[in-house]
Amino acid sequence: MTGYTTCLYIPEKKTEKWGRSMMKPWKAVKRLVPLFAGLSLLLSACGREDLSVLRPQGTVAEEQLGLIKLSITIMVAVMLIVFGIAAFVWIKFRRKPGQNEVPKQVEGNFKLEVIWTAIPLVLVLILAVATVQKVFAFGENYSADKNAVKVKVTSHLFWWEFSYPDYGITTAQDLVIPTGKKIALELKTADVLHSFWVPSLAGKTDTNTDGTINNAWIEAKNEGVYLGKCAELCGPSHAFMEFKVKAVSDDEFNAWVDAMKAPAVLPEDPAVAEVFKNQCLTCHAVGDQGGPIGPNLTGIGSRESVASILLNAEGEGNYVGSKPAKDNMKEWLMDPQAVKPGNKMPSPKEDLGLTDDEINAIAQYLADYKLSY
């Protein structure tokens, strides 16, 4: 049984426990402790490791989950108290048949009212202290830190651009980072607002327009590929504006940087190379050639996906339902609008006049364009 189906059973378990604790209220406290432990266990078993907020793989997400657990604990306690009183009242004070005397009209009770003002206030204060601590910790700006890796994130309709100012390289869709290091992000958009979210590494930061550029940081503890998503409605393909964060060892990261800096590889067949140069490189770039309008294609064959949602079988994420990179590339090039409605790439076939053979050759070339690291 996978984690998420377990989640579905939480409410039932909860009501069951709550029902029992109602019968023996004095035992309630004793029962609550294992309940909360069980609850957090259940929660941590929820969702995919590379996607779930509940299964953090990085420093920020871990601390966020800590805060989430603290608040859930407080809130479940509050709920149990309210539900308990409610159930008691509903059962005990039902009007019995024939009951017709007028109940005592109670105006209020000062002591009780003070209690239920004071206790929530205390609970809120506990949460507030933890909140303020974390707000400032996550708000730290590491862009001046020499040990941090700086990345400029630029969001586009509907893809992500990552450039590394210290290394002079730019890539797209797969953000490659070394583990155990702070990654200082500077986030902005090239068009409408988007939001940068890697649930298992850190919460969101919006990518705003010039003038309101944001900074944030992430840190991956373990090597792996993590799913990133756009979390701000940005147009038709908002749902498909995904990206990957690939956390690798320091050595691999350096090897990747070197491979990115290597001279561009162009298609071997000169005719294909000519088409590629004239039609694709007007917007896209490989190595030091081409333009900055579309996603950078350097080493695109090593990426986890084509167009963020066609998952590559060669990728390290081992995705269910993935296909060979070449097939994905071809599917995309044959009709980009069918894959990602509303995207800005001209159709190679309709708009640029490429033949099926040319598309096939370019797909093959791009799928084979791998970086060794």
Partner 1 sequence: MAHAHTVKRHKGLMDWLTTVDHKKIAILYLIAGGFFFGIGGIEALLIRVQLAKPMNDFVTAQQFNELITMHGTTMIFLGVMPVIFALMNAVIPLQIGARDVAFPFLNSLGFWTFLFGGLLLNLSWILGGAPDAGWTSYTPLSSTTYSLTHGVDFYTIGLQIAGLGTLIGGINFLATIITMRAPGMSFMRMPMFTWTTFVTSTMILFAFPAITVGLVLLTFDRILGANFFDVAQGGNPVLWQHIFWIFGHPEVYILILPAFGVISEVVSTFSRKRLFGYSSMVFATILIAFLGFMVWAHHMFTTGMGPVANALFSIATMLIAVPTGIKIFNWLFTMWGGQIRFTTANLFASGFIPTFVMGGVTGVMLASAPADYQYHDTYFVVAHFHYVIVGGLVLGLFAGLHYWWPKMFGRVLNEKLGKVEFWTFIIGFHMTFFVQHFLGLIGMQRRVFTYLPNQGFDTMNLVSTIGAFLMGVGVIIFLVNVVLSFRQPKGVAGDVWEDGRTLEWAIASPPPEYNFKQTPLVRGIDAFWKEKMAGNKEMTPAEPVGPIHMPSPTILPFMMSVGLFIAGLGFMFTNDDFGNSVLNFLFGKYIITGLGLAITFGCMLLRSLFDDHGWHIDPDELNDKEVKAS
191 touching partner 1, by CB under 8 A: yes
68 touching partner 1, by CB under 8 A: yes
Q: Pick the stretch among 22-30, 147-155, 274-282, 318-326 that binds partner 1 (CB under 8 A).
A: 318-326
Nearer to partner 1, 233 or 262 (CB): 233
152 touching partner 1, by CB under 8 A: no
Which of 57, 154, 171, 195 lies at the binding interface for partner 1 (CB under 8 A)?
A: 195
Separation between Cα atoms, residue 242 and residue 317, nearest integer Å: 14
Residue burial 245-282, b: 16+ Cβ < 10 Å; e: rest = bbbbeeebbeebbebbeeeebbbeeeebbebbeebbbe
Nearer to partner 1, 269 or 331 (CB): 331
239 touching partner 1, by CB under 8 A: yes
With vertex at residue 154, the alpha carbon angle to CA 63 and CA 291, rounded to the nearest 5 degrees, is: 150
Quote the tokens at residue 189.
Answer: 């958009």
**What phi and psi, each to the nearest 5 degrees, are found at residue 142?**
-100, 15
Nearer to partner 1, 11 or 263 (CB): 11
**DSSP assigned state of 277:** I
Smallest separation (angstroms) from partner 1 to the CB of 258:
33
Q: How far is CA 194 from CA 23, 137, 159, 214, 218, in A?
A: 51, 23, 10, 12, 18
Smallest separation (angstroms) from partner 1 to the CB of 12:
11
Nearer to partner 1, 342 or 353 (CB): 342
**Crossing angle of helices 356-368/325-334, nearest 10°?**
140
| Residues between 154 and 183 with contacts to partner 1, criterion CB under 8 A | none
34 touching partner 1, by CB under 8 A: no
309 touching partner 1, by CB under 8 A: yes
Q: Pick the stretch among 73-81, 142-150, 167-175, 266-274 that binds partner 1 (CB under 8 A).
A: 73-81
Which of 22, 193, 273, 352 lies at the binding interface for partner 1 (CB under 8 A)?
A: 193
Q: Which of 199, 240, 190, 195 is CA-nearest to residue 218?
A: 199
Which of 63, 145, 223, 327 lies at the binding interface for partner 1 (CB under 8 A)?
A: 63
With vertex at residue 298, the alpha carbon angle to CA 186 and CA 330, rounded to the nearest 5 degrees, is: 115
Q: Pick the stretch among 95-103, 160-168, 288-296, 362-370 that binds partner 1 (CB under 8 A).
A: 95-103
54 touching partner 1, by CB under 8 A: yes
**What phi and psi, each to the nearest 5 degrees, are found at residue 299?**
65, 30
Quote the tokens at residue 257.
Answer: 């940087």
Q: Pick the stretch among 23-31, 33-41, 171-179, 208-216 that binds partner 1 (CB under 8 A).
A: 208-216
How many residues of this chain interact with partner 1, rule: CB under 8 A? 100
Separation between Cα atoms, residue 37 and residue 261, nearest integer Å: 50
Quote the tokens at residue 10.
Answer: 């939480």
Q: 21, 84 in Cβ contact below 8 A? A: yes
Q: Pick the stretch among 32-40, 120-128, 251-259, 289-297 that binds partner 1 (CB under 8 A).
A: 120-128
Q: Which of 307, 347, 345 is CA-nearest to residue 323?
A: 307
| String marking each residue 319-348 x if it binds partner 1 according to CB under 8 A | xxx-------------------xx------
Which of 31, 36, 62, 134 lies at the binding interface for partner 1 (CB under 8 A)?
A: 134
85 touching partner 1, by CB under 8 A: yes
Which of 127, 225, 265, 352 lies at the binding interface for partner 1 (CB under 8 A)?
A: 127
Nearer to partner 1, 125 or 262 (CB): 125
Separation between Cα atoms, residue 231 and residue 51, nearest integer Å: 13
